[in-house]
Amino acid sequence: MNAYTIQLSDKGTIAVDDTILVKGVQAGAGSRILEGFKPLFSAEAVTRLENKGYIISGKTHVGEFGLDLAGEFSYYGEKEEELGGAAARLVSEGTVKAAIGVDLNGSPRRCAALSGIDFLKPTYGTVSRYGIISCAASGEQMGVYAGNVEGIKEIMDVIAGHDEKDGTSLKEESYDYSTGIAVAGKKVCIVRELLENAEEDVRRHVEAYGEQLRKNGVVVEEVSCDIFDTANTAWQILMTAETCNNVSRYDGVKFGYRAAEYRNIDELYVNTRTEGFNFLTKAVILYGSDVLSKNRYDACYGKSLKVRRVVAEKFEELMKGYDAVLTPVCSKTAYRAYDIREAFEKVFRESVFTSMANLIGIPALVSGKVQLMGKQFSESVLLSLAGIAERVGE
């Protein structure tokens, strides 16, 4: 082994979800429609990691376009009985130091919770979206899977910061991801309505986590707040609409999968997309085009844009009294394989815990199988709170 490789492996290996581009490596986003597509460039985050000496060890399977619960519906991956997501599993087994993935509708957060590792969906605009297979520009965000908060901090310090190639990227060059700020006296609330959406053992787990924080001087209170259901509906409308629009470019004309049989351009489109997308993506496309259609726009999409503003205000109001919100990530402790025809409903229901962070661009940290959310740019508070609990666990 020469000095060069020692130096590189000192930094560690990183797995990259298949919704993120690595130059020359097939990028499928878990979908047949992108079969054979090799990108000409790497995502900004990938380039930054490589420049710092990290090794990209490979691509990890994701559910088609990251739309599913926890990576269960990849065209390429193997079917598994108990869901958990490939990247989260590699991190929890210690095969890779960390992984990066795109949080479109909570899938990486659920994967992290199921595997018992950490995932941070940072504040919108802090990590460049250049080079992710985009579905919903207004709320998707790249984040980091790692074994603990220090691992999250290490990778976030590398990938976060302004990128001129992304028009939505914020101007700051770096952000604070401290994991050790004092938490005594910080106030955390548990939202009653979200607890009620989870099964008994999940509820008890969240309460126990709160107890752990309390022992460290954190004030933990239960509150009632009814905006999470509304936020979920709004995000599902915006997310499906934007996804429907963004995947319309996969038409068999330019790259990726093309149907073998067609007699004209319409059949080329229809056959390619019929064969290329899975049932869940098709449901999302149908739902998304419906909410954008002329007669439904005002009642659905337009309304959701307004709801987004109102929810953001209400969340800010809630956060006047608290530093973080503590919630479940999934309604149950494990998911079993299920029929894809139930997927749309199931994802909709489970996203009630995760949609808020996508809708209003706030950070959400999954750690110890719970979720901590806070105001924009409050990552260091979330990481420090989770850090206390993690160190107790050790």
Spatial neighbors of 357 by CB under 8 A, at least 6 apart, are: 103, 121, 363, 364, 373
Chosen residue from 88, 96, 132, 382 binding another protein by CB under 8 A: 132
Contact between 172 and another protein by CB under 8 A: the answer reads no
Contact between 161 and another protein by CB under 8 A: the answer reads no
Minimum separation from the CB atom of position 335 to another protein (A): 28
Helices 343-350 and 279-292: crossing angle in degrees, nearest 10, is 70
- Among 5-13, 297-305, 331-339, 383-391, the segment contacting another protein (CB under 8 A): 297-305
Chosen residue from 248, 274, 334, 337 binding another protein by CB under 8 A: 248
Minimum separation from the CB atom of position 134 to another protein (A): 7
Minimum separation from the CB atom of position 294 to another protein (A): 5
Say how many residues touch another protein, by CB under 8 A.
Answer: 41
Chosen residue from 62, 86, 87, 136 binding another protein by CB under 8 A: 136
Contact between 235 and another protein by CB under 8 A: the answer reads no
Q: Give helix then strand counts, H and E, for the chain.
A: 14, 10
Would you say 229 and 192 are in contact if contact means Cβ atoms under 8 Å apart?
Answer: no
What is d(CA 243, CA 281) in angstroms, rounded to the nearest whole number? 9
CA neighbor of 227 nearest in space, from 139, 319, 134, 151: 319
CA neighbor of 177 nearest in space, from 135, 142, 149: 149
Nearer to another protein, 107 or 197 (CB): 107
What is d(CA 60, CA 145) in angstroms, rounded to the nearest whole number? 12
What is d(CA 282, CA 301) in angstroms, rounded to the nearest whole number? 19
Minimum separation from the CB atom of position 70 to another protein (A): 23
What does the binding site for another protein look like in residue numbers (CB under 8 A)? Answer: 21, 27, 29, 34, 37, 39-41, 43, 129-134, 136-138, 164-168, 241-242, 245, 248-249, 251, 253-255, 265, 269, 289, 292-294, 297, 301, 305
